[in-house]
Structure 1
Amino acid sequence: MGTWNSRGLRGSTLEDFVNRTNEYYMEKNLALIQKIPTPITPVRMDKEHRQITLAYFEQRSTVDYIGVVQGIPVCFDAKECVADTFPLQNIHEHQIEFMGRFEKQEGIAFFLLYYSAKNILYYMRYEEMMKFWNRAKKGGRKSFRLEELDPEFFMELRRGSLVPYLDGINKDLDVREQKQK
């Protein structure tokens, strides 16, 4: 069990964008995606501001979002970083294991990465993440660089805040279909 100590809203930009996108997709009947809250036990409260200042995680979270896109089960995690190098320590083994099990059940698991300094979005397929994860497990780099990523899966925000991850899912499905042929 980890301790959570409030340090502002780390990673909240991407989360806000994804939440708005999920609302938009739901209104258009394109997808139904829910944010999965991480259960915490408050330890210390700032009563004046009605905020939790110290808490313990009750259990490990699996992914940030889960739902269905036109009959296809999906789960994904949203990660924000500033540098061009993404440290794999930002992803936890239990998340990788959950996503692997999700994929075995014929769901689609992926990561949304937001490189905030460059305003770049990336849809990372589970299979691609596993390439980097396994490389690290074998003693290789414990991170991956922006230039190592598949150019086909970069995305741009739409209307300033919409994350077009349905486009990423479509490309992901195309890749899967090609591999089956």
Structure 2
Amino acid sequence: MTSWNSRGLRGSIFEEMINRTNEKYMEKKLALIQKIPTPITPTKIDSNSHQITLAYFEKQSTVDYIGVVQGIPVCFDAKECHTNTFPLQNIHQHQIDFMKKFEEQKGIAFLLIYYTHLDKYYYLRLELLLKFWERAGNGGRKSFRLEETEKEFFFKDERQKQFVPYLEMLQKDLLLRD
């Protein structure tokens, strides 16, 4: 059982930026992406404000977002990283399994990572994530370093800090698959 208040708001600013981006994409009829809520069971509620102060997750989540981009099914998870090394423990086996099954059904699965200390966004293709995951499963590093990432999948347009324009990276991912 995982406590909600220990992890609850981590990454919420990054996710809010993604949510705004998804709203913009929907308004422009480019994509329809929804945030998948993680079901929680409240165990403690503040009697004055009626706000949940402690809860536990009812079940394992799959990914943070799911939807369709111009007829292509997509799913992705949003993660933050505060160093040049991303620990794979931030991803769970059931998420890997879901993303693999999603791609078996002709969808596209990926991670969006915000390197907070660099103020940079990164699109991690599932193919590369699976290489890191397999390496860890075979007794290798349980993380990946910034220098192991694909440089062309770092976002270049840093002018619009309130959005995470990932469709350009999705297009690059699609081109690599053809």
**TM-score for both structures, normalised by structure 1:** 0.94
Residues in 2 aligned to 1:41 and 1:151: alpha-carbon distance in whole angstroms? 41
Residues 157 and 39 of structure 1: CA distance in aligned 2, closer, same or farther (over 3 Å):
farther
SS in 2 for 1:5: helix
Identical aligned residues as a percent: 66
Q: Deviations over 1:159-180 (max 9, x none)?
A: 2211111011100001001xxx
- CA-CA distance at 1:157 after TM superposition: 3.8
Which residue number corresponds to residue 49 of structure 1?
Answer: 49
Which residue number corresponds to residue 70 of structure 2?
Answer: 70
Residues 52 and 30 of structure 1: CA distance in aligned 2, closer, same or farther (over 3 Å):
same
Residues in 1 aligned to 2:6 and 2:135: alpha-carbon distance in whole angstroms? 33
Residues in 2 aligned to 1:133 and 1:6: alpha-carbon distance in whole angstroms? 26
Which residue number corresponds to residue 176 of structure 2?
Answer: 175
SS in 1 for 2:61: coil
Residues in 2 aligned to 1:77 and 1:8: alpha-carbon distance in whole angstroms? 16
Q: Which amino acid letter does the alignment assign opposite residue 111 of structure 1? A: L
Q: Which amino acid letter does the alignment assign opposite residue 45 of structure 2? A: M
Residues in 1 aligned to 2:49 and 2:138: alpha-carbon distance in whole angstroms? 47
- CA-CA distance at 1:6 after TM superposition: 4.5
- CA-CA distance at 1:48 after TM superposition: 2.2
Residues in 2 aligned to 1:158 and 1:109: alpha-carbon distance in whole angstroms? 26
**Matching of residue 160 in structure 1 with residue 176 in structure 2:** no
Question: Deviating runs (4+, > 6 A) in structure 1?
Answer: none
Count the aligned residue pairs. 177
Residues in 1 aligned to 2:118 and 2:50: alpha-carbon distance in whole angstroms? 35
Residues in 1 aligned to 2:84 and 2:43: alpha-carbon distance in whole angstroms? 36
Aligned CA-pair RMSD:
1.2
- CA-CA distance at 1:7 after TM superposition: 5.6
Residues in 1 aligned to 2:93 and 2:7: alpha-carbon distance in whole angstroms? 24
Which residue number corresponds to residue 18 of structure 2?
Answer: 18
SS in 2 for 1:170: helix
Ranges in structure 2 where 5+ consecutive residues have no aligned partner:
none
Residues 40 and 25 of structure 1: CA distance in aligned 2, closer, same or farther (over 3 Å):
same
- CA-CA distance at 1:15 after TM superposition: 0.3
Within a 5 Å distance, the mapping from 1:70-149 to structure 2 comes to 70-149=70-149
Residues 158 and 76 of structure 1: CA distance in aligned 2, closer, same or farther (over 3 Å):
farther
Residues in 2 aligned to 1:158 and 1:69: alpha-carbon distance in whole angstroms? 23
Ranges in structure 1 where 5+ consecutive residues have no aligned partner:
none
Residues in 1 aligned to 2:102 and 2:158: alpha-carbon distance in whole angstroms? 27
- CA-CA distance at 1:9 after TM superposition: 2.0
Q: Is the 8 A contact 1:158 1:164 kept in 2?
A: no
Residues in 2 aligned to 1:152 and 1:7: alpha-carbon distance in whole angstroms? 31
- CA-CA distance at 1:158 after TM superposition: 4.5
- CA-CA distance at 1:50 after TM superposition: 2.9
Q: Is the 8 A contact 1:76 1:111 kept in 2?
A: yes
SS in 2 for 1:111: strand
